[in-house]
């Protein structure tokens, strides 16, 4: 198997109480993994630890072979800008700008071009000139996903990306994410409480009793 894009060793973290201990995890290119678990079990925290946003109290996280929290802030910023894609349920689009302008911000920063086919697949190609504020919540979510994928990340971290979408749109978004990782040698780590979305991933893990266990 190829060198993993993401590798985490012996991750422990907690705030007031310990959330999890000694978690090992790895994800290789073209692979997808889902993390499920009850609300408050620490799924989002673990995703933030894996994606440069929270330094864990214990353990090490390697992205593309390098331990992230040992690197200077500039290197971490470059990782966020070029190499990782982050999709959260509550997206951060510029309300006064058009859908196209929002996506252009990301492609300009990363030096990529907009993939028209991706916009068509997501069903948002015809609303590109519309202001974000005039789009439905589901359309906005798809614009934010197009924005993330347009910068061509090598690994995608998605926290409840389909949480506020109807089922048909959720299935469409999962199709697009799966296509993307296959055709770009990328990887997907998905956090969700929706088992049907989780089951589309190669591996499903459950965070429970401070441990991450593969679900069989």
**Residues that bind ligand ADP in the complex, under the rule CB under 6 A:** 15, 19, 37, 39-45
> For residues 168 and 197, is the Cβ–Cβ distance under 8 A?
no
Nearest distance, CB of residue 15 and ligand ADP, angstroms: 3
Contact flag: residue 44 with Mg ion (CB under 5 A): yes
Cβ distance to ligand ADP smaller for residue 29 or 41: 41
Cβ distance to Mg ion smaller for residue 35 or 124: 35
Contact flag: residue 32 with Mg ion (CB under 5 A): no
Cβ distance to ligand ADP smaller for residue 35 or 135: 35
Phi and psi of 110, rounded to 5°? -100, -5
Nearest Cα neighbor of 99 from 49, 53, 134 is 134
Nearest distance, CB of residue 207 and Mg ion, angstroms: 10
Stretch that binds Mg ion, among 15-23, 41-49, 98-106, 166-174 (CB under 5 A): 41-49
Coil, helix or strand at residue 108: helix
Nearest distance, CB of residue 44 and ligand ADP, angstroms: 3
Residue burial 168-182, b: 16+ Cβ < 10 Å; e: rest: ebbebbbebbbebbe
> For residues 27 and 186, is the Cβ–Cβ distance under 8 A?
no
Cβ distance to Mg ion smaller for residue 40 or 72: 40
Stretch that binds Mg ion, among 23-31, 38-46, 129-137, 143-151 (CB under 5 A): 38-46
Task: From residue 131, give the alpha-carbon distance in Å to each of 34, 76, 94, 97, 122.
Answer: 33, 32, 9, 5, 17
Coil, helix or strand at residue 33: strand
Cβ distance to ligand ADP smaller for residue 120 or 193: 193
Nearest distance, CB of residue 148 and Mg ion, angstroms: 18
Residues that bind Mg ion (CB under 5 A): 44
């Amino acid at each position: 198997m190829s060198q993993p894009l993401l590798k985490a060793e012996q991750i422990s973290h907690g705030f007031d109480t310990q959330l999890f201990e000694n978690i090992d995890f790895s994800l290789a290119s073209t692979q997808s993994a889902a993390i499920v678990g009850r609300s408050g079990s620490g799924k989002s925290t673990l995703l933030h630890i894996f994606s440069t946003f929270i330094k864990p109290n214990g353990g090490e996280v390697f992205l593309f072979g390098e331990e992230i929290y040992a690197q200077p802030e500039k290197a971490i910023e470059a990782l966020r800008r070029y190499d990782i894609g982050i999709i959260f349920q509550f997206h951060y689009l510029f309300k006064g700008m058009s859908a196209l302008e929002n996506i252009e911000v990301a492609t300009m920063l990363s030096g990529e071009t907009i993939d028209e086919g991706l916009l068509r697949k997501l069903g948002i190609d015809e609303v590109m000139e519309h202001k974000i504020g005039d789009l439905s919540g589901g359309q906005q979510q798809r614009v934010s996903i197009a924005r993330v994928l347009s910068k061509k990340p090598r690994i995608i971290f998605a926290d409840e990306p389909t949480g506020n979408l109807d089922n048909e749109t959720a299935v469409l978004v999962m199709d697009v994410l799966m296509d993307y990782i296959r055709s770009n040698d990328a990887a997907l780590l998905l956090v969700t409480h929706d088992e049907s979305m989780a089951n589309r991933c190669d591996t499903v893990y459950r965070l429970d009793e401070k441990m991450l266990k593969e679900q069989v």
